Amino acid sequence: MTTKELISDIAAASGISKAEVSQLVSAISQLLADTLLQGTPVHIQDFGDFELRDKKERITVHPKTGVRTLTPAKKQITFKQNPTLKADIKNI
Are residue 30 and residue 64 in the same domain, yes or no? no
Q: Quote the domain boundaries for residue 84.
A: 41-92
At residue 47, what is the residue type?
F
Are residue 12 and residue 45 in the same domain, yes or no? no
Region of 89 (left: φ > 0; alpha: ψ -120 to 50; beta: rest) is alpha
Please state the pTM of the whole predicted model. Answer: 0.72
What is the DSSP-derived secondary structure letter of residue 18?
H
Are residue 64 and residue 30 in the same domain, yes or no? no
Instruction: Kindly report the number of other CB atoms within 10 A of residue 86's CB atom.
Output: 11
Are residue 35 and residue 50 in the same domain, yes or no? no
Are residue 88 and residue 57 in the same domain, yes or no? yes
pLDDT digits (tens, 9 = 90+) for 54-87: 999 999 999 999 999 999 999 999 999 999 888 8
CA 79 – CA 41 distance, rounded (Å): 10
